[in-house]
Amino acid sequence: MQKTIALVAHDHKKQELIDWATTHKALLEPHKLVATGTTGGLVENALNQPVHKFKSGPLGGDQQIGALISEGKLDALVFFWDPLNPAPHDPDVKALLRLCSVWNIPVACNRASADLMFGIQSLEHMHYKREIPTY
């Protein structure tokens, strides 16, 4: 059954999200994809699949995705947020993550969680390298 999945990444995490989405293109293909503006453009190009693009995060895109959640129109969020740099719209980011908790929306904030969420990996079998971020 087709689900609506939101994909969002902060600037230092965009390449990681694109890599993940490209690797799992076949899994994403049956679903409706939505995203914040810049992330959406990149995902659309990488997957050659239409992505509904909301505004860029700092201009309200996170809040638009939050509104989808409160309307019962979002099934999952993959949000590779940047834990090492402050964002000017940090309150919006927090609000989006908060709504995922309020409405019991699955949310993956890193690649390992996204792999678990989409059934790509099981907890039992996963052996991820713990890498030191390079940015």
Ligand X SMILES: O=C(CO)COP(=O)(O)O
Q: Which is nearer to ligand X, 17 or 115 (CB)?
A: 17
Residue from 33, 34, 93, 114 that binds ligand X (CB under 6 A)?
93
DSSP string for residues in 85-126: S--TTHHHHHHHHHHHHHTT--EE-SHHHHHHHTTSS-TTT-
62 catalytic residue (yes or no): yes
Residue from 58, 67, 113, 116 that binds ligand X (CB under 6 A)?
58
**At 22, phi and psi to the nearest 5?**
-65, -45
Residue from 6, 20, 33, 57 that binds ligand X (CB under 6 A)?
57
The CA distance from 62 to 127, in Å, is 31
36 among annotated binding-site residues:
yes
Considering only residues 24 to 43 of the shown chain, the ones binding ligand X according to CB under 6 A are 36-39
CA terminus-to-terminus distance, the chain: 39
The CA distance from 33 to 104, in Å, is 19
Count the residues of the shown chain that bind ligand X, applying the rule CB under 6 A.
12
Binding-site residues from annotation for substrate: 10, 14, 36-39, 56-57, 89
Query: Known catalytic residues?
Result: 62
- Residues engaged in binding ligand X (CB under 6 A): 8, 10, 36-39, 56-58, 61-62, 93
